[in-house]
Each structure stands twice: as structure tokens, then as C-alpha cells.
């Protein structure tokens, strides 16, 4: 057999072994080494045995294609996380991780976006772009908005809970195998290669940033309601977003702002992000302890709303139960889904867990169970208190419904319950912001450590051992847009990013089941491949409930990300040609 034939038959097996040993980071390095070694030992002259040294430039396209799908060894990922200059402090136990998850999930949706999920959205002009993708595929028509679930949001939440259960099992399995900061980004780097990892990392940046913008806008709305409760009415332009696509009305239906742009800036939304940025830079233990206290307070506030609100439910508000049809149920689930990225946040803190193989799966599944029960309880009570159609464009539906009822019934109990819920809601949103900002900085940290983002983002504070630069930059990139945009626009972008991440994580479980069935798993999703397959199907179904405009914005964001990757990140990756050359030169010739 000729040398060329031998190489063609064996290079894939050699590449696999070399990658496992961390000697050759990509196929090009291995092939260059093999061919050059043969060339050095061959006798000069014509014939098949004389193989000239490989022209690395001529193999540029081969190297690029190989780099795009180069996977990082799981063992190498774990060893890199233990390097002193990149090591994070391990302080989180199972209950702290569960509290982080609850802190992220309960607060963003249950107090803010739940109103949009119930009532839907209305726009000032009809457009195909505003139509949910699934709705347009069925009806082929433009729309003035998108339907809400109405009282049937409870059914939407059951659908979302089922989807999240399958996805949570996938996250738990991967987190027990790969206990590294970065969550879905890290998982895809180990299973699908660098290009897909970059795409999901870029997607996670959007997901975390936009969800935090939405939560901070909701926090500002609750802060404004608190001012009103105490009789203080600051200038509206400094406590509302500059962009309001549906306008703004008061509780009596009077127009405060027409749809579109107006002069102003949402100062409370900006300030709360910056305050929490300081807390996160100080340290993960301090952040977790602060979060634990806020989680307890907001659960108490939710239970207060549920038990007091049950006394004022009007059964007539439940009719019709599905006012917008099943399209509304699907769209309502799509709108509310972004709040469930809380268990994603649990997995981003894996490097800071004391026993990640045991505690991360526990935290993820416990978060899902607690939050689903609380969500359904609030949805049932809220739609029984007020007519579902009155919640449109309301960034503080729970508190405003209490305020409206307190005004009409003159009930002192409702009046004081409103204050308690206000306080708990703000604590809930602060804890959501805290966890999402923590998760976002860890994604930047992981991508920077891999060379895909500038190295400054993986710098760890010498005293607090936190990714300080990434945390500060993330704070400003969230705080400034939060002062400008509205909650509906922001939540949609986060939804599609979340669902896309869930799809790739589920595919990662399938790939590792096939490629590395022998690898130890601290937790294995039951039912064979049922959980990841059903997770992919349901997530795609929910993505179809999002507007066409959101899809276009998402693709535009991905195009920007691919441009950044091709022009910057791929040249600085550890799998790039410039980083492969030193490794190749370090191998002694035979």
C-alpha cells in the first residue's frame, strides 16, 4: 500500500487519538506533521515514495473547514478551568444553586411579561412581520398584533412546563458531565465544534442581555407604582422607556403617550443594573447570599397575592376560557417562555459549585418544579381578578390589578397587599437581574478563555476572583438599552434565543450519547433519547409562535456574529492556524 493511501485510510483515527492526547489541535497539524516526517526520511528522486513537504497555505481551506467543526475535549475543558489564573471560587451548594434558579425564573415573567402573554400585543399598523410565524403559515395574512392566551395561560404554562422538563433533563445530564462555566456554549463546543459553539455563545449573549433589559424595564414600572402608592409622581419621561410601540395609558384608560418614540430615559431601569454590577464584581458568595434573601421575600409576596387574590376572583372573567383560540395558547407560551432560562443560569455557575455533578442537576430540576407551580397559581388568580383584555402592554400586571381592585372596592386589605406585592416583586426582579447578569458574564468569560473574545474578558479580579471586566461591560450593555426599549420588544428577542439554545443543548445530549456512551454521567436523562428528541420538537413548535419580525432580527444578530467570528475570533481560537504552528514545531522530528 502506498504512503498516500495509508494516510488517507488512517488519518481520522490518528487525529482522534492526537486530539485526545492534546498534542495536535486539528487535522491540519497532524497531517502536516505526518507528511513532513515522511518527506524528510524519503530518498530524493522521482516516484511515489518522494513526498514533498505539505504546503500549509495550500491547505488553508482544509484547515478552515476543519477548524469550524473542531471539538474541545471534555477532559481538557475541565483541566483548563483549574488553571490558577482562570479558576473561580467554589462556594455554591445545592440550595444556593436552586435559589439562583428560582431567583432568575420567578421575577422576570411572573410579575412582568405574564400580562403580555395573557393579553397579547397590539400594533399601530397591520404587517406580515407582526404575525406569529405559525399563524402566518396557516392563514397567510398580515396582523395588527398577536393573540394572547387569555385565562388559558394556565394551559400555556403546562405546555411550557412539559418542554422545560425535557430540556431540564438534558441540561442536567450535560452539566453533570461538563461542570464548566458557559452553559450551552461549553456543551456545544464539546459536542458540535467551534462554529456551532460560537453561534450559541453569540446567541446566549443576546439571550441574557435582552432578558435582563426586559426585567429591568419591568422593575422600573414597579418602582413607578411604588412612587404612586406613596403619593409621589415623578416626571413620566424619566421612568418610562423612550420607545413604546403600543403607547402608554393609565389605569383609567387615558392616553399618556402615543405609540412610537418620545423624549426620555428609563432611569430606574439603568440604575438597578449598575448597582447589581457592583455587587457581582464583589464576589459570587455575596451575590448568592443576597439572592437567597430576595428569593424568600418574593415567594412570600407571591403567596400573599395568591391567597388574598383568591377572595376577589370573579368567575365570569374566565369566560371565554380560550378567547383567541389555540393560536393564542401557543403564542402565550412563546411569550412567557423566556423566563425559564433560570435553570440555564444554574448551569453557568457550574465552576463555582462545590459538587457540580450532584448539585447542578438537583438545582435545575428543583427550580423547574417550584417555579411551574407558582406560575400557574399566579396565572389562575390574575385572570380571575381582571378581564384578560385589560392587561395589554402592562409591564406590572400583578401590582396594577391589585391597585385597580383596591381603588374600586376601597379594600384596606388590598391596599396593603398591593404594597407587599410591590416590595416582593421588586425583590424578585432584582434577584432575576442578579442571576442573569452573573450568567452573562460567565458566558463572556468562557468564550474569552477559548480565544473567541478578547482576553480581557477572562481576566479574574485578583481579590474577589470574579470576571470583573466581563461583568462591567455586560452591565453597561444591558443598562443603556434598558432605558430606551419596551418590555414586549425585548422579551421576544430573548425568547427565540432561549429556545434556540435549548434545541442545541438537546442535540448535544444525543451526540454525546452516540460519541461517548462510556463517559461517566452523574445524571442521565431517563427514557433513552425520548427527552432530547421531544425537547427539540417542542422548542421548535414554540419558536413558531414568535413573530416573523423577531425571526428576522434573530437572523440579523446571527449574521453579525458570524462576521465577527470570521474576521476576529477564528484567527485567535486555539484551533486557528497561528496557534497550531507552535504546537507543530514543538514536536521533535523522528
Instruction: Report pLDDT for 381.
Output: 92
Give the position of cell 385589560.
390
Residues 63 and 81 in one domain: no
Using a 10 angstrom Cβ sphere, with 0-12 exposed, 13-18 middle and 19 or more buried, the burial of residue 76 is middle
List, in sequence order, the alpha helices (H) in 230-341.
Answer: 267-282, 284-309, 325-336
**What confidence tens digit (pLDDT) does each residue in 151-188 have?**
999 899 888 888 888 888 888 788 777 766 556 777 77
Give the position of cell 448597582.
275
Residues 119 and 208 in one domain: yes
* Of the listed ranges 26-30, 123-127, 190-194, the one predicted with least confidence: 26-30
Cell of 5: 493511501
Instruction: Please give the average per-residue pLDDT across 525-534, as a whole number.
Output: 88
> Looking at the predicted structure, is the pLDDT value of residue 583 above 70?
no
Interacting residues of 264 by C-beta distance below 8 A, sequence separation 6+: 236, 237, 238, 240, 241, 242
> Looking at the predicted structure, is the pLDDT value of residue 348 above 70?
no
Instruction: Report pLDDT for 28.
Output: 42
Average pLDDT of the chain?
74
Instruction: Report pLDDT for 380.
Output: 92
Give the position of cell 420588544.
489
State the CATH number of the domain containing residue 311: 1.20.1740.10
Q: What is the domain range of residue 302? A: 74-574
Residues 260 and 398 in one domain: yes
Q: CA 346, 350, 354: angle at the middle one, nearest 5? A: 110
User: Could you check whether the bond before residue 320 is cis, i.e. omega within 30 degrees of 0?
Assistant: yes
Residues 441 and 355 in one domain: yes
Residues 275 and 183 in one domain: yes
Residues 228 and 131 in one domain: yes
Per-residue pLDDT band for 219 (boundaries 50, 70, 90) equals confident
Q: Tell me which residue of 271, 263, 213 sits closest to 235, measured CA to CA.
A: 263
- Residue 406 CB: number of other CB atoms within 10 A? 20
In this structure, is the dihedral angle defined by the CA atoms of residues 131, 132, 134 and 135, taken in order, positive or negative?
negative
Instruction: Report pLDDT for 534.
Output: 93
Pairing of the two strands 260-261 and 243-244: antiparallel
Cell of 539: 422548542
* Of the listed ranges 118-132, 363-377, 501-515, 545-559, the one predicted with least confidence: 118-132
Distance CA 369, CA 386 (A): 27
- Burial call 40-62: b when 16+ CB within 10 Å, e when fewer: eeeeeeeeeeebeebebeebeee
Cell of 405: 381592585
> Looking at the predicted structure, is the pLDDT value of residue 147 above 70?
yes
Element (H, E) at 10: helix 3-20
In this structure, is the dihedral angle defined by the CA atoms of residues 530, 203, 346 and 303, taken in order, positive or negative?
negative
3-state secondary structure of 179: coil
Instruction: Report pLDDT for 266.
Output: 80
Instruction: Report pLDDT for 260.
Output: 64
Residues 263 and 122 in one domain: yes
Residues 97 and 16 in one domain: no
Per-residue pLDDT band for 25 (boundaries 50, 70, 90) equals very low
Residues 116 and 10 in one domain: no
Instruction: Report pLDDT for 89.
Output: 63
Number of domains in the chain: 2
> Looking at the predicted structure, is the pLDDT value of residue 43 above 60?
no
**Could you tell me which residue, 7 or 214, shows the higher pLDDT?**
214
Residues 106 and 49 in one domain: no
Residues 242 and 116 in one domain: yes
Interacting residues of 517 by C-beta distance below 8 A, sequence separation 6+: none
Residues 47 and 110 in one domain: no
pTM: 0.70
**Could you tell me which residue, 402 or 27, shows the higher pLDDT?**
402
Amino acid at each position: 500500500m502506498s504512503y498516500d493511501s495509508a494516510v488517507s485510510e488512517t488519518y481520522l483515527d490518528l487525529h482522534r487519538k492526537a486530539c485526545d492526547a492534546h498534542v495536535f489541535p486539528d487535522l491540519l497539524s497532524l497531517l502536516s506533521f505526518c507528511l513532513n516526517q515522511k518527506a524528510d526520511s524519503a530518498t530524493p528522486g522521482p516516484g511515489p515514495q518522494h513526498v514533498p513537504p505539505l504546503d500549509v497555505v495550500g491547505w488553508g481551506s482544509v484547515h478552515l473547514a476543519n477548524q469550524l467543526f473542531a471539538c474541545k475535549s471534555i477532559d481538557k475543558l475541565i483541566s483548563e478551568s483549574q488553571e490558577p489564573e482562570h479558576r473561580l471560587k467554589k462556594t455554591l451548594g445545592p440550595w444556593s444553586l436552586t435559589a439562583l434558579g428560582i431567583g432568575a425564573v420567578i421575577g422576570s415573567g411572573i410579575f412582568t411579561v405574564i400580562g403580555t402573554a395573557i393579553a397579547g400585543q397590539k400594533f399601530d399598523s397591520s404587517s406580515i412581520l407582526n404575525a406569529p410565524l405559525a399563524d402566518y403559515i396557516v392563514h397567510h395574512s398580515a396582523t395588527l398584533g398577536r393573540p394572547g392566551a387569555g385565562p388559558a395561560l394556565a394551559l400555556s404554562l403546562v405546555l411550557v412546563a412539559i418542554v422545560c422538563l425535557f430540556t431540564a433533563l438534558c441540561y442536567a445530564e450535560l452539566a453533570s458531565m461538563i461542570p464548566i462555566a458557559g452553559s450551552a456554549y461549553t456543551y456545544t463546543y464539546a459536542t458540535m465544534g467551534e462554529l456551532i459553539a460560537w453561534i450559541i455563545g453569540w446567541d446566549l449573549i443576546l439571550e441574557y442581555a435582552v432578558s435582563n433589559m426586559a426585567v429591568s424595564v419591568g422593575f422600573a414600572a414597579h418602582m413607578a407604582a411604588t412612587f404612586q402608592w406613596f403619593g409621589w409622581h415623578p416626571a413620566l419621561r424619566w421612568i418610562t422607556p423612550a420607545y413604546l410601540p403600543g403607547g402608554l395609558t393609565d389605569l383609567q384608560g387615558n392616553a399618556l403617550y402615543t405609540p412610537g418614540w418620545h423624549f426620555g430615559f428609563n432611569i430606574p431601569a439603568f440604575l438597578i443594573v449598575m448597582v447589581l454590577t457592583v455587587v457581582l464584581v464583589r464576589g459570587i458568595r455575596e451575590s448568592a447570599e443576597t439572592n437567597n434573601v430576595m428569593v424568600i421575600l418574593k415567594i412570600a409576596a407571591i403567596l400573599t397575592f395568591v391567597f388574598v387574590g383568591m377572595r376577589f376572583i370573579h368567575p365570569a372573567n374566565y369566560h371565554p376560557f380560550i378567547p383567541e383560540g389555540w393560536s393564542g395558547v401557543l403564542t402565550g407560551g412563546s411569550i412567557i417562555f423566556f423566563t425559564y432560562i433560570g435553570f440555564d443560569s444554574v448551569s453557568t455557575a457550574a465552576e463555582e459549585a462545590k459538587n457540580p455533578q450532584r448539585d447542578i442537576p438537583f438545582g435545575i430540576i428543583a427550580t423547574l418544579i417550584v417555579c411551574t407551580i407558582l406560575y400557574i397559581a399566579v396565572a389562575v388568580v390574575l385572570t380571575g381578578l381582571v378581564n384578560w383584555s385589560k392587561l395589554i402592554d402592562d409591564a406590572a400586571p400583578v401590582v396594577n390589578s391589585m391597585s385597580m381592585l383596591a381603588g374600586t372596592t376601597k379594600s384596606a386589605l388590598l391596599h396593603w397587599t398591593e404594597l407587599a406585592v410591590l416590595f416582593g416583586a421588586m425583590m424578585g426582579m432584582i434577584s432575576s437581574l442578579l442571576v442573569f447578569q452573573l450568567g452573562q458574564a460567565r458566558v463572556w468569560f468562557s468564550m474569552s478563555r477559548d480565544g473567541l473574545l478578547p482576553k480581557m474578558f477572562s481576566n479574574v479580579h485578583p481579590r474577589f476572583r470574579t470576571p470583573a471586566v466581563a461583568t462591567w461591560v455586560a452591565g453597561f450593555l444591558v443598562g443603556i438599552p434598558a432605558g430606551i426599549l419596551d418590555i414586549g420588544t425585548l422579551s421576544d428577542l430573548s425568547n427565540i434565543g432561549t429556545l434556540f439554545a435549548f434545541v442545541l443543548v438537546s442535540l448535544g445530549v444525543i451526540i454525546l450519547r452516540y460519541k461517548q456512551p462510556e463517559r461517566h454521567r452523574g445524571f442521565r436523562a431517563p427514557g433513552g433519547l425520548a427527552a432530547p428528541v421531544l425537547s427539540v420538537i417542542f422548542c421548535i413548535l414554540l419558536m413558531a409562535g414568535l413573530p416573523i419580525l423577531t425571526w428576522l432580527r434573530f437572523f440579523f444578530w446571527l449574521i453579525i456574529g458570524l462576521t465577527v467570528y470570521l474576521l476576529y475570533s477564528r484567527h485567535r481560537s486555539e484551533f486557528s492556524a497561528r496557534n497550531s504552528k507552535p504546537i507543530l514545531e514543538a514536536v521533535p522530528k523522528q
